[in-house]
Amino acid sequence: MNNLVKTADGSLLDTAQRNGLTLVDVMMNARVMVLVDTSSSMKEDDAPGGKTRIDAAEEELRQIQRNYPGQVAVVSFSSRVEFCPGGVPTRQFDFTDVAAALEFALPADKAGVRVVLISDGQPDSETQAFGMAHRYKHSIDTVYCGGERDFGGREFLAELARRTGGVFGSGAAPGLLAAPVTLLLGGK
Amino acid sequence: MSMRILGNVDSFELWDTPRNQAFIDALKAGIPPGSRKWGRDEGKMAWIVAAPYLDTVKQLCQQHFGQMPLVTGQISSVVKAGLYSFELHYLGLPKPRGDGSVSSMGWTEGGWKALFELGVLAAWFGFAVPGESGYTGVDQSSHYATLGVSRTADEAAVKSAYRRAARTYHPDVNKEPDAAAAFIAVKKAYDTLSDPGQRARYDMALVYAGSSATQPKARREMGDFSWRPPVRCGRLSVEAAKVMGVYQLKRIVGWQDITNELGQTMVTYWPKGADHFEVRWL
């Protein structure tokens, strides 16, 4: 086990270690890349059960990876973007650079991996985010995980999905992320 | 008796070192075989070492004997590089040296007379990471490295490289202990890189796995020097400095197959336990 990296069951790294494969071998077969917002607003504790938004997102990510081992690539973003092969997003609690996250995921989009953005919206620059999304070959699916009254954040994510032909999911209820990702992976 | 160093044009002799196995091991680990030898002069034995390793030897003496050797004579550590051509009959596997470098020795002109730093091989075979140099900048485990082609190699180049590597490692020809595993790796690399869809996915995976802190670090810590050159012999044109009769390569300029009058191509390998490589013509 690698002690330096937190590893979730079913994550790319966990799958590689369990099967004696390289990370590259496993990543080749990933079907979804989830970009997880870890900006400071994700510390808000308005998720179901009084959890913070990031805790709720992380919990669901763990569940999805357990159900679909080796198929979900996790990327965290805030002021920097980080690939998280262990399946646990790195918490940065800083800015919300959606454009940088989308740029980071461009090679995945080019290779046909579906890109899902989970965020509470309010990016550093909507213009740059939309500009980056314009470079996508495929759709971007978005999941809103902010407060019920934050209409701006919700609208941004809905618009991002609409412009790329993706699906927008929203909800402050359990399964906010699991539903769209499960759908993409062919489950029910 | 105090140790002394006697300088020559491109090398120096280290005399009167006390017998010390740790020193010998460190010297062998830190200086590649082509750049040091245990030689005889006037009935006495001395270490003869290439000039660029003067500081390494001084440090080792200080470390193991607690004193610096007395240096006499001129030592020119700057050896001018020139263009050379030679037939390389066998290229050894890359090995880590004590100074942090990784290099291979090549058999030419009847001895181990060519030194290939891994970076030189990586640059020729096209898999060096741009902007970086040396061992840590070389992605040895990629399919590109296995075939010895660059990331931008086209379909024809990939196919040609596959044929060359498959010829080198086919288990019917190559009797090295892990030739079968090497051949499987070559086949897997070709299967991936020759299919445009698979290659796009592979390139994507390399981007992300390469950005992860876990991979290269783990490989470095494990001391993974598993890369095997896709071809082990050839007619080479090189830019090199010739030190102590050994070509210390700066750059490979050309590498062609060695063929005989029947149009057959030379393939060489080193069977386990053998004291010399073997030659096959295919």
CB contact under 8 A, B215 and A23: yes
Q: Are strands B234-243 and B82-88 parallel, antiparallel or unpaired?
A: antiparallel
Written as one letter, the residue type at A88 is V
Give the residue from chain A lying closest to B188, CA to CA.
A25
Q: Which residues contact A183 (CB under 8 A, 6 or more apart)?
A: A167
Q: Which residue has the tokens 């607003």?
A: A41
Helix/strand/coil percentages in chain A, nearest 5: 40, 15, 40
Q: Which residue has the tokens 């006697």?
A: B6
E strands in chain B: 4-7, 11-15, 36-41, 44-50, 70-72, 82-88, 90-91, 95-96, 102-108, 111-117, 234-243, 246-256, 266-269, 278-281
Give the least confident one: A173-187, B36-50, B149-163: A173-187
**How many alpha carbons lie under 13 Å from residue B83 in its C-beta half-sphere?**
3
Percent of chain B with pLDDT over 90: 53
Q: Is the pTM of this model over 0.80?
A: no
Q: pLDDT value at position A104?
A: 96
Q: Which of A50-59, A89-98, A179-188, B209-218 has the highest mean pLDDT?
A: A89-98
- Chain A residues touching B142 at Cβ < 8 A: 24
- Chain A residues touching B198 at Cβ < 8 A: 28
Q: Are strands B111-117 and B246-256 parallel, antiparallel or unpaired?
A: parallel
Q: Is B201 on the interface with A (CB under 8 A)?
A: yes
Question: DSSP per residue over A21-32, as a string?
Answer: --HHHHHHT--E
Angle, CA of B247, B251 and B253, to the nearest 5°: 105
- Chain A residues touching B209 at Cβ < 8 A: 22-24, 27, 85
Handedness of CA B228, B229, B232, B238 (dihedral sign): negative
Q: Are B115 and B251 in contact (CB under 8 A)?
A: no
Q: pLDDT value at position B217?
A: 41
Q: Which residues contact B258 (CB under 8 A, 6 or more apart)?
A: B87, B233, B234, B235, B265, B266
Tens-digit pLDDT profile for residues A10-30: 999 999 999 999 899 999 999
Helix/strand/coil percentages in chain B, nearest 5: 35, 30, 35
Q: pLDDT value at position B255?
A: 95
The pLDDT of B88-109, averaged and rounded, is 87
Give the least confident one: A160-164, B7-11, B173-177: B7-11
CA distance A162 to B178: 54
Q: Are A160 and A133 in contact (CB under 8 A)?
A: yes
CA distance B231 to B42: 42
CA distances from A58 to A46, A74, B114, B116 (A): 15, 10, 55, 48
Q: Which residue has the tokens 């009084």?
A: A50
Q: Are B16 and B2 in contact (CB under 8 A)?
A: yes
Residue A151 distance to chain B (closest CA, Å) = 34
Q: Is A72 on the interface with B (CB under 8 A)?
A: no
B residues 245-264 lying closer than 8 A (beta carbon) to A: none
CB contact under 8 A, A24 and B218: no
Quick check: helix, strand or coil at residue A50?
A: helix
Give the least confident one: A110-114, B106-110, B191-195, B205-209: B205-209
Cross-sheet strand order for the sheet of B44-50: B36-41, B44-50, B11-15, B4-7, B70-72
CB contact under 8 A, B204 and A23: no
Quick check: helix, strand or coil at residue B146?
A: helix
Q: Are B21 and B79 in contact (CB under 8 A)?
A: no
Q: Are A137 and A143 in contact (CB under 8 A)?
A: no
Q: pLDDT value at position B137?
A: 45
Question: DSSP per residue over B167-224, as a string?
Answer: HHH-TTT--STTHHHHHHHHHHHHHHHTSHHHHHHHHHHHHHHHHSSHHHHHHHHHT-
CB contact under 8 A, B211 and A83: yes
